[in-house]
Structure 1
Amino acid sequence: MPIRLKPAAVLGFVMFVSGCHTAPERQANRLDVSVPSVWSASANTFPLAGQKWVESFDDPVLYSLVEQALTSNFDLKTAVARVDAAIAQARIDGAALWPQLSFAPGYQYTQVRSAGFGSAQYSVFEALFNLSWEADIWGRIRSFREAARQEVEATNADFQAARLSLAARVAQNYFALLEAKLQAQVAEQSVADRGTIASLVQGRFERGLVRALEVRLVLTDLAQARSQLAAARNQVQLVTRQLEILLGDYPDGSLPQIDDTVTALSGSTIRQALPVPPSQLPAGLPAELLTRRPDLIASFARLRAADARLESTSKLLLPRITLTAAGGTRDSALTDLIDPRSVVWNLFAGAVQPLFTGGRIRGSIQLNEAYVEEAFNRYQDVALNAFREVEQALAAEEWLRAQEKELREAVQQTEAGQELALYSYRQGFIQILTLLDSYRSTLNAQSAHLAVRRQLLNNRVNLYLALGGSI
C-alpha cells in the first residue's frame, strides 16, 4: 500500500470500529411517561419502613405459616434452581475469556503384513496438548458475559418476587380460611336460631294458634340455613387444602394451629378473630418503586442484558484475533514420553475478518435490536402496571374502610331488629315472614361484614406486594 493511503486506511478502520453498537447508559427511572412525585390516590401515606410487612399484622400464626412456606414450598424451590442454572450459564458464557487447554493422550498399534516378507508390528504412545485463546480486544466476549450476568440478576430478582408473592398468597389464604371458619360459625348460629323458631312455630301450631303454612315456611327456611352451613364448611376444607399446598404439606385438610386462633360465638356477636390492618399506609414515593420492586428490577436487568447482547453481536463485524498452540511427544516407548528432548510444539497467531456471511451477522444485529426494543417497552409496561397496582390498592383502602364501617352498623341494626322481630311475633304483632326475613337479614349482614373485613386485609397485602416491601 502506498504511504499516502495509510492515514485514510487508519481513519476508515477507526470509523468502522466506532460504528459498532455500544450499550447505552440505562437508568431505571428514565421512562417515556412522567411519574408524579406523590401518589394520586392517597395523600395520607407514610414512608415504607424497614419493618417486615408480615410482622405488621401482629399475628404469630401468620408469621409461622409464612416462614414454613418460604422453607418448604416447591414452587419457590424451583425458583432457587433457576437462579443456580443462571449462575452456571453465566460461568459458561464467560469461559471464552480464558485460554482453553486440553490434554489428549493416546496409543496406536499397527500391524503390517507383506507377501513373502512376513509381518511387522509397531506401537506408538503420544501425549499431546492443545491450547486456544481469543484475545477479546474489542470486548465482544465481555459484553456476552455481561448479558449473562444481567440474566443472573434478573433471575435472582424473579426469585425475590416469587418469595414476596408466596408470602402474600399465604397471608391471603390464611385470612380467607379465618373468614371461612367464621362464616361457618355464623351459619351454625343461624341454623340454631332457625331451629328455635321452628320449635316455637311447631308448638304454636299444635295449640292451634297458627296454620300449617307457617310450619312449612319455617321448615323450608331451616333447610336453607342448613344448606348454607354445608356450603360454608365446604369452603373451609377447600381453602385449608389450598393453604396446605402453599406450605408444602400434604393436603389432608387439617391445620390445627389455625383452629386455635378462631374464637367461638358469644351470643350473636362474633369476637375479633381476623387481624386488623395497621392504620398507616406505608406507600413511600412513586420513584422508589422502580428500584425496590423485584419484578421491575428483573425487567430492567433483562433490558440491560439485551443491550449487552446487541453490543456483543455488533462486534462480530470486527476482526477476531486468536492464538493456538499444540505440542507434545510421540514415542514407541512409554517411558520416553517424559524426555523433554522429544517434545515438539507449534504456535500460531492469526486474525479472522468477516467479509461476506450472507447477511447472517447483519441479521443477528437486527434481531438483537428488536429484542432491545421489546425489552425496553416491556419494562415500560411493567412499570406502568406496578404504579397502577399501588394506586389501585391505595384507592381501594378508603372505600373498603367506608364499606366496613357501614356494614358494621348494619350488623348492629339487624341484630337489634332480630330481637324486636322475635318479641313482636310472640305478641302476634307481625307475620312469620317478617320474622324470618329479620333472621335472613342478620345472617347476610354478618356474612357481608366478615367478607369486607377479609377484603381489607387482602387489599393491604396487595399494597405491600405492589410496593415490593420486605417480608
Structure 2
Amino acid sequence: MINKNLKILFISLSLIITGCASNKKKYIERLPDIPSNWSSIYEGLENSNGWIDSFEDQRLYALINEALENNKDLGIAYENIKIARARAGASLAPLLPTVSVGAAKSQISTTYQDSAGEIQRNYNYRDSLTTQLNWEIDIWGRLSTKSRASYLNAKAVYSDYEAAKLSIVGLTAQAWYLFCEAKLQTDLAQRNLETRLSTLKRVESRYNKGIVQSRDLRLARSEVESRKAELLNREKAMSEAARNLEIIIGRYPSANTSPKVLPELPPKPSIGSPEDVLKNRPDIISSEIQLEQAGLEVTAARLAFLPSLNITAQWSTSERDWSDAFDPDRLAGNIIGSLTQSIFQGGTRIAQSKVTESQMRIILNQYAKTLLGAAREIEDAMFAENILLERENALSNAFKEAKAAEDLTIDQYNKGVATIFELLDAQSRSLNAESLLINSHLLRITNRIKLHLAISSPLFEEI
C-alpha cells in the first residue's frame, strides 16, 4: 500500500514539473516578435551620457534634483519598496520552525483531618514550563518557491520605482519648458498689444485729419481690446504652467518660479537595436520580473497538491522534574513527525491553482502590451524628430515672410495705399506665425525629452 502511494506521489510530482515546462513554452510563444531594426528612419549623432546635462540648463538640473527629492508620488513609490522588502523578509518565516513557550503556576488543594478531628485544607503550588515546536519541512520546495516569488515582487517594485523616477524627471523637464514657452507667448502677446496700440494711434491721427472713416478707428480699437484679452489668457496660462511645475517638484503652487528662454536642442542621441533598448527600460524589467514571479506562484499552487511533512515537538516540565527536562530520551519521545495529504478542501486548492494560472496569463498579456507600447513610444519619437525639425524650418520661413509682409503693409498704410483690413490682417498673420514658431520649438524639445525617456537614456553624466 505504501509503495502504491509513493508511486502516485511521484507521478503527481512529475506531472507538475512537466506541466510547468510546457506552459512556459506555450506562454513564450504568445509574446510579440521584436524586429532587429527600427522601422523609423533615424540617425543619431552621439552616445547619450546624461541627457539632462546635454541641455546645458542649470535651472533644469536644479529643478529635476528638487523633484527627485520632494515629489510626493516618488515618495510613495519609495515607501512601496520598503513594504515589498519587508514582506520578502517575512516570506522566509514559513521555512523556519515556530517555537512557543508557556509558563504556568498551578495550585493543588488537599484536605485532611487533624488530631482534633477538624477538617483542614493544605495548598501546594507548582510552577510549570511548556515549550512547543512546529515545523513544516519544505520537501517539495513549495515554501521556498513562494519566498522566491516574494523576493521577485520586491525587485519588481524597485523597477517600478525606477520607472516612476524617469517619469518624474520627464514631467519636470516638460513642465519647465512649457512654462518657459508660456512666458515667451506672454511676451509676444504683450508686444502685439503694444503694436496694436501704436496702430490705433496712427489710425486716430489719420481719423482726426479726415483721411479715414470711423470704421477704421473702431476696427483698430476692437483689435486693441482683443489683444488685451489675449494677453490675459497668456498670463493665465503662464501662471498655471508655473503652478503645475511647482506641484511636480514638491513646492507650494505659488507661481513664484521665474522662467528663461527655450534652449537650443543638443545633437540627437544614438539609439541601439530594439532588443538592446527595450531590455533596459525599467517598465520592461518590472514586467519580466512580474512574469517570472507569476510562474513561481503557479508552481507553488501546484505543489500545494502534494503531501506536507510536519514535525511537532512538545516539552512540558515542572519544578519537580527540572533535572530531566532535557534528557535526550525524553526529548526524542516528544517529537512527532507527520506526512499529511489533503483529500478534500472544498475545491480551494484547485481554484487557487486556476487563479494563479489566470493571473500569469494576465501578466503575460500586460507584459506584451508594455513591450509593444514601449516600442511605439520609441518609434513615434524617432519619427517625429525629422518631422518636427522640418515643421520648425517651414514655420521659421513663414514667420520671416509674414514679418516682411507686415512691415511692407505698414509702410503702404502710412502712404494711404493699403487699407486698415490689410494692415490688421498682416499683423495677425505675423503674430500667428511667430506664435506657431515658438510652439514648434517647444514641441521639438518635448519630443526629445520623450525620446530620451523612451530609450531610458542616462539622466546625468557619469563622472
Q: Is the structural similarity TM-score above 0.5?
A: yes
Does 2:230 match 1:228?
yes
Using a 3 Å threshold, how does the CA distance of structure 1 residues 323 and 46 change in structure 2: closer, same or farther?
A: farther
What code does the residue aligned with 1:378 have? Q
SS of the residue 2:279 aligns to: helix
Cα distance in structure 2, aligned partners of 1:27 and 1:249: 50
SS in 2 for 1:322: strand
Q: Does 2:396 correspond to 1:398?
A: no
Shift of 1:321: 0.7
TM-score, normalised by the number of residues in structure 1: 0.89
Q: d(CA) in 2 for partners of 1:30 and 1:274? A: 47
* Alignment-derived partner of residue 252 in structure 1: 254
8 Å contact 1:69–1:167 — kept in the other structure? Answer: yes
| Deviation larger for 387-396 or 353-362 | 353-362
Query: Structure 1 unaligned runs (5+)?
Result: 263-272
The aligned residue for residue 427 of structure 2 is 439
Determine the structure 1 residue equivalent to 2:34.
35
Equivalent position of 2:99 in the other structure: 101
Q: How does 1:22-421 map to 2 (within 5 A)?
A: 23-24=20-21, 32-45=31-44, 49=47, 51-108=49-106, 117=119, 121-256=123-258, 258=259, 262=260, 273-331=261-319, 339-342=322-325, 345=331, 346-421=334-409
Percent identity between the two aligned chains: 27
Q: TM-score, normalised by structure 2?
A: 0.90
CA distance in structure 2 between the partners assigned to 1:106 and 1:422 by the alignment: 105
Q: Give the RMSD, CA atoms, in angstroms.
A: 2.5
Task: After superposing the two structures, state which structure 1 stretch, 370-379 or 80-89, moved more.
Answer: 370-379
Distance change (3 Å), C-alpha of 1:50 and 1:217: closer
Segments of 5+ residues of structure 2 without an aligned counterpart are: 113-117
Count of equivalent residues = 447
Given that 1:293 and 1:469 are in contact with CA atoms closer than 8 Å, whether structure 2 keeps it comes out as no
State whether structure 2 residue 440 is matched by structure 1 residue 452. yes
Q: What CA distance in whole angstroms lies between the structure 1 residues aligned with 2:190 and 2:81?
A: 49
Question: For the residues of structure 1 that align with 2:107 and 2:414, how far apart are their CA atoms?
Answer: 113
Q: Distance in 2 between matches of 1:232 and 1:326?
A: 79
Task: Give the secondary-structure state (helix, strand or coil) at the position aligned to 1:284.
Answer: coil
Of 11, 17, 36, which residue of structure 2 is paired with 1:15? Answer: 11
Task: Please give the alpha-carbon distance, in whole angstroms, between the structure 1 residues aligned to 2:25 and 2:278.
Answer: 13
Contact 1:154–1:301 at 8 Å: present in 2 too?
A: yes
What is the letter of the counterpart of residue 399 of structure 1?
A: I
For 1:139 and 1:290, how far apart are their aligned partners in 2?
33
Measured after TM superposition, the shift of residue 177 of structure 1 is 0.2
1:27 & 1:284 partners in 2: Cα distance? Answer: 29
Q: How far does residue 291 in structure 1 lie from its aligned partner after superposition?
A: 1.7
The whole-number CA distance in structure 1 between the counterparts of 2:310 and 2:288 is 34
Counterpart amino acid of residue 381 in structure 2: A
Against the structure 1 CA distance between its residues 27 and 193, is the aligned structure 2 distance closer, same or farther, given a 3 Å change threshold? farther
Moved more, 30-39 or 50-59: 30-39
Partners of 1:111 and 1:234 lie apart in 2 by 89
Distance in 2 of aligned mates of 1:419 and 1:360: 82
